[in-house]
Amino acid sequence: MKLSTVKPTQKKVGLALSGGGFRAALFHVGLLAQLAEFRKLKDVDTISTVSGGSIVGMIYYLHLKKWLESNDRPIQDEDYLRIVQAVESDLLTIVQKGFRIFGLRGLHKLYTMTGDELSEKLDEVFKSILNEDHYLSLNDLQIDPLYEQNKSHKIIVNTTSLNNGELWLFTSEGNGEIKQYLDEMMKVEGHHNDEPHCLTGFTVGKAVAASAAVPAFIKPVSIKKDPLNIQLVDGGILDNLGTNSLLNEGCNHLIISDGSKYLEAKPKPSNFLINVIVRTQNIFINAIIRNNLRNIDIDQEHIDMRYALPRYTRTNKELSEVNHGVNIKVQHYLSNIRTDLDSFSEVEAKSLMLLGYKFGLAEFSGMDFLRNLNRMKLTPNQDWQFKSIKQRFQNPDEDYLKELKVGEYSLFRRLRKRFARLE
């Protein structure tokens, strides 16, 4: 995908929700809460989502769509707060059960879930938000506000094509580029077809599942049109932040919520094949993230859950708090939590949300344009569910820290907690 060279003449705000499984999705909720409190959500023009960010981003987008198509009045700052509260409630419910099922499905299979299995679960979530009796197609994404002057966002779901090695984008404003590409591929193969390819039957759940289909863990999502078989996987392979899509949209102000994997230095990395594959993938993605951030020369607010974390945490025991006012051990353990779609405990989920909330507060409260009284926080004491963990988050005891520490594992967390040692 080529980046646009068109420079917009007015401010165009893009919100990037990174990949990182449920870990990132939960972190993004805390950031969305701060955006709502700081009255910034109404300024967003385009949302670009990847993997776990696509899940929470689509939940938010559909709640906004539901509100805009049901209310014949201007949307207020308080309405955005209620929308994000609904997102918080939905995600807390989802992560209690998770999407992935672990089990012995044959040692010859690396996959524990297919793209179709994930997309069906996601489709159920998405249709329930709009109270529909059918799965939502991509054509259902466009927002038609009941009050015409209300502003809606454009959403971009980033995936990666295994066919051509490029980003494949599903959007709320048509998917003509995909149709054009498929038609061109058909002609190359010698199969001329006057009837344009239609993605009407391709559901929103499939698009989001493709964005979250981490290679070696979730099978790719397919778009089949004889003789083609397009295979789509995690958009984070090429851009785990989703910033390239926003730049291509002409955005000149970026808000980046970054829940990407923390690449902690390992004195003795495992040489077990699957561990080597995962570690190599994380190194590759981490390098792309650094390169993408270096190439962004426009206004940006980068809310990074790994902020100020040292590569060798054990050699920096004197660090007790990062500049954002978060206990370094709490941040370290949360940043190491699994980037997966299996179940998360209430402690894990609310702690990740609160981390995003705290980091968002530190970022936005220091912005010059927020010094204007009209832009200050809407409701500083907003009652978010994740605030119930605040006391343990700020004054972590041993039991709390151990639960966060073993959160990096997908299996046997209760057993591991009994024998966990804090550094």
Instruction: Return the active site residues.
Output: 51, 234
CA 123 to chain centre: 17
- Assigned token pair, 70: 């049901």
Distance CA 112, CA 96 (A): 19
Q: Is 11 exposed, middle or buried (0-12, 13-18, 19+ CB in 10 A)?
A: exposed
Q: Give the integer Cα–Cα distance in Å for 273 and 380.
A: 49
- C-alpha distances in Å from residue 176, one per residue of 76, 203, 223, 244: 33, 16, 15, 19
Six token digits for residue 202: 């391709």
- Give me the residues paired with residue 321 across strands: 327
Answer positive or negative: Cα dihedral of 91, 256, 202, 200: positive
Contact of 41 with 286, CB cutoff 8 Å:
no
Kind of pairing between the strands at 253-258 and 13-17 = parallel
Query: 330 is written with which tokens?
Result: 């709490």
Q: Which residues contact 270 (CB under 8 A, 6 or more apart)?
A: 276, 279
Question: What is the H or E stretch that residue 286 is in?
Answer: helix 273-294
Instruction: From 255, 353, 195, select the one nearest 12 (Cα to Cα).
Output: 255
Dist CA 160 CA 350 (whole Å): 30
45: helix, coil or strand? strand
For residue 316, the one-letter residue type is N
Closest Cα partner for 301 from 246, 264, 261? Answer: 246
Q: Could you say which DSSP state residue 374 is in?
A: G
- Give every CB contact of residue 330 below 8 A, 6+ residues apart in sequence: 351, 355, 393, 396, 401, 404
CA torsion sign for 171, 220, 30, 322 is: negative
100 CB-near residues (< 8 Å, 6+ apart): 112, 113, 340, 341, 342
Tell me the Ramachandran region of residue 190: left when phi exceeds 0, alpha when psi lies from -120 to 50, beta otherwise: left
